Structure 1
Amino acid sequence: MKILSGPTFISILYLIYLITIPRVSSSSPSLTVPHHFLQCLDTQPADHGSPNSATAVIPTNSSFSANLMSAVRNLRFASASNRKPEAIVAAVTETHIRATISCCKLLNLELRVRSGGHDYEGFSYTSPVPFVILDMYNFHKIDINMADETVWVQAGASLGELYYNIASKSKVHAFPAGVCPKVGAGGHFSGGGFGNLMRKYGLSIDHIVDAQIMDANGKVYRDRRSMGEDVFWALRGGGGGSYGVILAWKIKLVRVPEKVTVFKLERTVREGAVDLVHKWQQVAPVIDRDLFIRLEIKPINRKISKGKTIKVSFIGMFLGTPERLLNITKNKFPELHLTSSDCLVKKWIDSVVFWANYPEKAPIEILLKRISANEYYWKRTSDFVQTPISKQGLKTIFQTMIDHSPLPRRVWMQWNPWGGRMGEIPSDATAFVHRGGNLFMIEHFMNWYRPGDKLEEKFLAIARSFKEAMAPYVSKNPREAFFNYRDVDIGITTPGYNATYEGAKVYGEKYFKGNYLRLVKTKARFDRTNFFRSQQGIPVLA
């Protein structure tokens, strides 16, 4: 007879003990659950001299609130009415992650994996049912190999840390990803990862060449071959949180000039903003792919006469000199009236500081800052535009923005041009489906700065009303949405194991279109029990 010993025997004894205590329920969670979770952690295999429970905090710990709030980017989800986790595990090693997964399964707790905390609906640190946060903050090692121009970057590293480390090795290398330095690589890359290099190089996922992931059984897959190409495909754009815990990505760097050019021009309606935005739609997706011009469209108060108007900012990133940039805009977009005095010449790493809206003379070390003390309340969503909006349509949109903006609060938008490399990559090359056929993507914003349920209801209603007013101008059947800009308003599934293929289609087809079924089939093979789940997760097929 085989004798059980060590951690396996202890775990079995603990499982028997758990049978004698009340199970966790979504309606009446036991007050003792956090302590049971800590006890469970210490029944699991541990690193020598490092108890698993030493990495965890529970609500009775004095540091619990600080740990929770350290990566809460949207204060809507920090209110007293939001369920708090039973524990937060700040894993330092894979052993800690494995123990966390095991104890969540034993105690019937959902697991939320948080790398940077930028999930737009707070899914990485909230849940309607009892849950534990696995915080990947300590997994932020970055290993650069300039010989083959690759980098292994752990899931908890921020984009700012990645960019800073790349710049420390080379003046002519970069990586195509987002412009917010505090965003975590784990979630950003798994949802696609877009930024101001996308027209030249595509998305982050188009330059991910390998990955490491831990599954629901604690098994680590060290490369794409061991996990299977279907899983590696799904992780790039399908949201890694539905399949396992992303440990690290292997990325391929891209080349950039030693100096790049950036600019920011502002125009109001009186200064021709309607005509300029109309022309931008025709030019920005097809102009030289070294040029990326983002629009920021905001209602403002008029400076002289009373009333409101619209201000449009044209924010540009050009991989080249001002002279070549001005030649391009003179020929393709002369109405912009871009001049040499508008252009700033910077190293690529300094352009990252510019795009992050940091002070002009801020040192690049500011990119290493991972925690912000100035968070607020917001609702953000996305849309894709596939047909140019007429001038009359733009006038209507601008007026609707004004009507929906009780200044100083306001709805506003960013318009990000597609085209270039984005139009050359097939929609099924990765799980990210929004490729050719799109002119630009819209990100909708509604921000406010004071707490209160009535204020939240007011501003959410404004955001939803404006989003509905935009319906005639954006993609249809389905109205497409960007997974990294999660939006519960497009649909959710009931928390727990009962998410079905048909039930999740309400959001699955908007995020993934024709790639949704393949994601579900991959999920069924890799996470059969649907352990990694959320209100907008990929369900198992059955």
Structure 2
Amino acid sequence: MAQKTDGIGRRRFLGAAAAVSGASALGGATTALATPAQAADVPTTSTTTGTAFGPVAVTPKDQRYRDLVRGMNQRYIGSPEAVHVIGSAAQIPAIVEKAVAENKRITVRSGGHCLEDFVFNPEVQVVLDVSLLNQVYYDPTRRAFAVETGAQLLDVYEKLYPVWGVTVPGGICYSVGAGGHVSGGGWGLLCRQLGLIIDYLYAVEVVVVGADGKARTVVATSDSNDPNRDLWWAHTGGGGGNFGVITRYWFRTPGATGTDPAALLPKPPAEVYLSAVSWKWSDMDAASFRALVTNYASFFTANSGPTSPYNALASFLVLPHKSNGQIAMVTQVDATVPDARALHDNYLAAINSGVGVAHGALTRDVGEFRSMAQLVEPRRLPWLEATRYLGPTNVDLTDPTLRQDYKSSYMRAGFPARQVEVMYKHLTRTDFANPRASVTLSSYGGRVNTVAPAATAYPHRESVFKMMWMSLWSDAADDAANETWNQQFYEELYADTGGVPVPNTVTDGCYVNYPDRDLSDPARNTSTTPWHGLYYKGNYPRLQQIKKTYDPRNVFRHRQSIQLPS
């Protein structure tokens, strides 16, 4: 049922590969299948190696069951009748069709990075685990790179770059599955230079269900004459769990010609400067904090145009609760652009201007980053080495025991003074103390904003930075305290607009890959903008019509799935 994408670069929507709803357990034996037999109208390039398997049905009596009914967020653990571990995309239609016939709810797990209960909840009876659909290869038939939806992001980079010297601008969270990351409009450290991963999406393969309850596999492309082009468009930011089970993506730079794979996707920087600095909370007062946060917001407001030399730079400002002890900033700059080191140093000077607190090494885990004391001075690294380094430093990805809560917002301009005061208030509260509770400001804009909001389903093409609220904790007894802190902080920050960041001249809604059930709670969202207006803005009516065409029975659904038109 769902997919997720994208923590900090991230992450994630829904932790699954596309979501489904409604299926049943198919027996309990391991079944070996021959090479996938796709629908007759679906050309495919087989990469099957070794012995085919599956689907393997794991039921509650199996010792593997407890490991397969949970993702990264331990707040949500499922109790389905069975988890089907999928060995090939060809196995999926039969499971889905049986689900529809028996009216059973089914969801799909790819990377397991669902932030809400969209994959694992009491209503779900069957889970499709597509994490082993993880091949990455060049498809000469489509002149594009195929990525199966179970492929983890670091695996994608480690295949595309060493073999062909290319990449896609996805997130830094190494274990996020491609399924939800892409469908929600995934972003990462290269977005200001290269745009979003969906800006390179050429085609998507989806198992859909018609009004007759029959499942079929459809490949939808960006070709203007493709009768299924709307289905492709829906997966350029329409989120996971809405239209069908995504099994595979194909990527190619729009307008790229020829058959040389090395010329069909962008090349990442050969080398980057990477740095991590911190400021001591004990040295910060309200004025220092105000200067630091205002400087960050002002910098990216002023330097996010399509031709800005600072689009070679990406940076995260992580503001944890004061109990952590440090505020952190992690920065990466393309080291191959002119005056790259000067870009980095000028940026750091701009952020420090008027703060009055000296920065030092990052010696603690802050937000999603572990301590990186050795990077207090920028270090020049090969791009893939830097990518491999940053991914596993993500705290919530390397500790699978954590409970988590998230919120998000896009910013089109700097903070009003009142909002900065609210941020300082909640980050220094003494009635709540969690060193792993934070707000992260992430640079945005640049190449992302060169695409029209309606050209893809992803509508946030006018923002210059984004925000992510994150609380991580281990004990279920702390659920209420962490969730309440996030809610109170968020709703007071946006009190002038009904407790949510409605699209206007300052804010621009929310990121669907950081799903937040509070957005659809009228007690928490008191604005006139519904949850879907925050995620999809003006693209929602078109998404509803596509839903009607490809999922008329509303098989693929979850708490915040796209609704059929009235």
Q: Which residue of 2 aligns with 1:38?
A: 26
Aligned-pair CA distance for 1:174: 2.5
**Contact 2:316–2:440 (CA<8 Å) still a contact in 1?**
yes
Among 438, 443, 450, the alignment partner of 2:475 is 450
Distance 1:48 1:259 in 2: 40
Provide TM-score, normalisation by structure 2: 0.75
Q: Which residue of 1 aligns with 2:146?
A: 152
Among 310, 317, 323, the alignment partner of 1:295 is 317
What letter corresponds to residue 244 of structure 1 in structure 2? Answer: G
Q: Deviations over 1:74-95 (max 9, x none)?
A: 01113xxxx5111111111233
Aligned-pair CA distance for 1:64: 1.5
- Matching of residue 356 in structure 1 with residue 349 in structure 2: no
Aligned-pair CA distance for 1:322: 9.3
Aligned-pair CA distance for 1:537: 0.8
What letter corresponds to residue 229 of structure 2 in structure 1? Answer: E
Distance 1:103 1:118 in 2: 26
Give 3-state SS (helix, strand or coil) of 2:476's partner: coil
Q: Which residue of 2 aligns with 1:524?
A: 548
Change (3 A) 1:254 1:146: farther
Structure 2 unaligned spans of 5+: 1-21, 37-50, 253-264, 353-358, 361-374, 523-527
Give 3-state SS (helix, strand or coil) of 2:215's partner: coil
Aligned-pair CA distance for 1:386: 2.5
Distance 1:93 1:251 in 2: 20
Distance 2:440 2:548 in 1: 37
**Contact 1:404–1:462 (CA<8 Å) still a contact in 2?**
no
Distance 1:314 1:248 in 2: 35
Give 3-state SS (helix, strand or coil) of 1:389's partner: coil
Give 3-state SS (helix, strand or coil) of 1:242's partner: coil
Aligned-pair CA distance for 1:105: 1.1
Q: Deviations over 1:365-397 (max 9, x none)?
A: xxxxx9956330110110122331256642441
Q: Which residue of 2 aligns with 1:62?
A: 63
Distance 2:163 2:141 in 1: 11
Q: Percent identity?
A: 22
What letter corresponds to residue 422 of structure 1 in structure 2? Answer: V
Distance 1:146 1:317 in 2: 34
Give 3-state SS (helix, strand or coil) of 2:133's partner: coil
Q: Which residue of 2 aligns with 1:276?
A: 292
What letter corresponds to residue 298 of structure 1 in structure 2? Answer: P
- Matching of residue 468 in structure 1 with residue 491 in structure 2: yes
Change (3 A) 1:439 1:135: same
Q: Which moved more, 1:277-286 or 1:186-195?
A: 277-286
Distance 2:542 2:278 in 1: 44
Give 3-state SS (helix, strand or coil) of 1:525's partner: helix
Give 3-state SS (helix, strand or coil) of 1:519's partner: helix
Change (3 A) 1:227 1:352: farther
Distance 1:89 1:39 in 2: 10
Aligned-pair CA distance for 1:239: 1.6
Distance 1:156 1:515 in 2: 27
Among 498, 505, 513, the alignment partner of 1:484 is 513
Structure 2 counterparts to residues 55-454 of structure 1, below 5 A: 55-69=56-70, 72-78=71-77, 83-124=78-119, 126-144=120-138, 150-170=144-164, 172-216=165-209, 217-224=214-221, 228-252=228-252, 253-268=265-280, 270=283, 272-285=288-301, 286=303, 288-301=310-323, 311-321=326-336, 324-329=339-344, 331=346, 334-336=349-351, 342-358=377-393, 374-390=400-416, 393-403=419-429, 406-409=432-435, 411-436=437-462, 438-452=463-477
Distance 1:238 1:355 in 2: 28
- Structure of greater Rg: 1
What letter corresponds to residue 283 of structure 1 in structure 2? Answer: F
Distance 1:59 1:197 in 2: 43
Aligned-pair CA distance for 1:231: 0.9
Give 3-state SS (helix, strand or coil) of 2:393's partner: coil
Give 3-state SS (helix, strand or coil) of 2:428's partner: helix
Count residues in correspondence.
470
Distance 1:329 1:66 in 2: 43
Aligned-pair CA distance for 1:294: 1.2
What letter corresponds to residue 529 of structure 1 in structure 2? Answer: R
**Contact 1:386–1:475 (CA<8 Å) still a contact in 2?**
no
Give 3-state SS (helix, strand or coil) of 1:173's partner: coil
Higher relative contact order (CA 8 A, sep 6+): 2
Q: Which residue of 1 aligns with 2:525?
A: none
Q: Deviations over 1:21-78 (max 9, x none)?
A: xxxxxxxxxxxx99x7335999x99759999975111112232112224xx1101113
Distance 1:140 1:194 in 2: 20
Give 3-state SS (helix, strand or coil) of 1:432's partner: coil
**Contact 1:492–1:506 (CA<8 Å) still a contact in 2?**
no
Give 3-state SS (helix, strand or coil) of 1:267's partner: strand
**Contact 2:412–2:464 (CA<8 Å) still a contact in 1?**
yes
Distance 2:28 2:227 in 1: 28
Change (3 A) 1:148 1:196: farther
Give 3-state SS (helix, strand or coil) of 1:215's partner: strand
Aligned-pair CA distance for 1:181: 0.6
**Contact 1:215–1:527 (CA<8 Å) still a contact in 2?**
yes
Give 3-state SS (helix, strand or coil) of 2:557's partner: coil
Q: Which residue of 2 aligns with 1:367?
A: none
Provide TM-score, normalisation by structure 1: 0.78
Give 3-state SS (helix, strand or coil) of 1:296's partner: strand
Give 3-state SS (helix, strand or coil) of 1:476's partner: coil
Change (3 A) 1:127 1:332: closer
Q: Deviations over 1:96-126 (max 9, x none)?
A: 21121012112211120111111210312x2
Distance 2:143 2:298 in 1: 35
Change (3 A) 1:325 1:341: farther
The structure with more helix, counted as a fraction of residues: 1
Give 3-state SS (helix, strand or coil) of 1:37's partner: coil
Distance 1:200 1:289 in 2: 5
What letter corresponds to residue 73 of structure 1 in structure 2? Answer: M
Q: Which moved more, 1:138-147 or 1:50-59?
A: 50-59
What letter corresponds to residue 245 of structure 2 in structure 1? Answer: V
**Contact 2:183–2:240 (CA<8 Å) still a contact in 1?**
yes
Distance 1:540 1:41 in 2: 37
Distance 1:290 1:222 in 2: 35
